[in-house]
């Protein structure tokens, strides 16, 4: 089901399937900032990645020696959520474990996803609860697709990313199956600006570990429209548009965790970036989408 949120600056749509943002419009001129999920390019707009980010080696993982399978990016983006609370400028959903989820992910959990409008910002809140009697292992991340360019008539190559801190960082390259290589990549991120072109994504996402920045902004050389992702304390970032080129969007992706390294055959708990949550405990994460 699709729900509408609004305040005096923004009109937002969220659907219960995947608890996913589907539209962010500026009321003043009806500029749409979010990709609409047209399956010609990509059927999602802003999926929640849980309880894994990226792809597992051969789609499988082990917990205490027992093997399980999960699709890429896990269960969160392909599940129907229950509506918990709704106001004009706030909505919250919950996804809770079932006997079916235990077959793929052997922990009892609840994931709450909320959206709150504040002036020209959309705050996104994730709350992960371990409802089990044992330590829970998981990852979580965003995959938010923004229209790029934001203004009709402009080109993808007219756009660039800005970072609020000067960076000097090489990327984590992916193989053809979506696993990271152990060797550093060649897409060095230097300074506070990254010019965009489709060729830079021919090898899939550009992923980075340990960026200094916690604000990434999509800007244009030809207009003043811009949108920012404010995500503090996320150890990994990804930037993605389809490898074939031509898609009118780019994803900004702060992650807690990432895909397996090529050939990884260890226990789920030992994956780099995996989070550990004690029995009965809760962890909360935030990021903000800022318009203008």
pLDDT in tens, 20-34: 999 999 999 999 999
Q: What 3 state SS string does 153-186 have?
A: CCCHHHEEEEEEEEEEECCCCECCCCCECCCCCC
pLDDT for 205 equals: 97
The answer for 18, left when phi > 0, alpha when psi is -120 to 50, beta otherwise, is left
Smallest Cα–Cα separation from 186: which of 199, 178, 177?
199
* H or E stretch at 206: strand 206-209
Residues in the chain predicted with pLDDT less than 70, given as ranges, are none
Say which residues have a Cβ less than 8 Å from residue 9's Cβ, sequence separation at least 6: 26, 27, 28, 117, 119, 120, 291
pLDDT for 256 equals: 98
CB 147 within 8 A of CB 202: no
Domain segments of the chain as ranges: 2-291
CATH number 2.70.98.10 is the correct assignment for the domain at 2-291: yes
Distances (CA, A) of 58 to 16, 103, 174, 206, 260: 30, 17, 14, 21, 10
Distances (CA, A) of 267 to 50, 151, 234, 243, 270: 18, 46, 23, 31, 6
Beta bridge partners of 129: 110, 282
Q: Is the pTM of this model over 0.85?
A: yes
Given CA atoms 38, 19, 32, 218 in this order, what sign does their dihedral have?
negative
Which tokens is 91 given? 């909505």
Which tokens is 207 given? 């992923």
3-state secondary structure of 135: coil
Q: How far apart are CA 140 and CA 77, in angstroms?
A: 11
* H or E stretch at 103: helix 99-104
CB 140 within 8 A of CB 48: yes
CB 37 within 8 A of CB 28: no
pLDDT for 266 equals: 87
Q: Whats the size of the chain, residue-wise? A: 292
């Amino acid at each position: 089901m699709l729900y509408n949120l609004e305040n005096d600056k923004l009109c937002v749509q969220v659907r219960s399937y995947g608890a996913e943002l589907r539209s962010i419009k500026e009321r003043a001129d009806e500029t749409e900032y979010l990709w609409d999920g047209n399956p010609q390019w990509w059927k999602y707009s802003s999926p929640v990645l849980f309880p894994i980010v990226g792809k597992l080696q051969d789609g499988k993982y082990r917990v205490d020696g027992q093997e399980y399978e999960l699709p890429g990016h896990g269960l969160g983006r392909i599940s129907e959520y229950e509506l918990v609370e709704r106001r004009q400028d706030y909505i919250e959903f919950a996804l809770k474990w079932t006997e079916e989820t235990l077959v793929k992910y052997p922990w009892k959990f609840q994931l709450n996803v909320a959206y709150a409008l504040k002036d020209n910002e959309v705050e996104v809140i994730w709350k992960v609860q371990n409802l089990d009697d044992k330590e829970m292992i998981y990852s979580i991340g965003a995959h938010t697709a923004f229209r790029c360019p934001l203004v009709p008539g402009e080109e993808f190559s007219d756009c660039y990313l800005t970072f609020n801190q000067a960076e000097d960082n090489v990327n984590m390259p992916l193989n053809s199956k979506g696993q990271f290589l152990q060797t550093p990549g060649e897409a060095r991120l230097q300074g506070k600006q990254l010019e965009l072109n489709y060729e830079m994504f021919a090898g899939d996402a550009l992923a980075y570990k340990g960026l200094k920045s916690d604000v990434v902004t999509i800007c244009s050389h030809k207009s003043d429209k811009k949108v920012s992702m404010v995500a503090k304390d996320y150890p990994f970032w990804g930037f993605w548009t389809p490898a074939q080129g031509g898609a009118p969007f780019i994803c900004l992706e702060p992650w807690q965790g990432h895909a397996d390294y090529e050939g990884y055959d260890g226990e789920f708990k030992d994956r780099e970036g995996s989070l550990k949550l004690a029995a009965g405990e809760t962890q909360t994460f935030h990021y903000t989408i800022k318009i203008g």
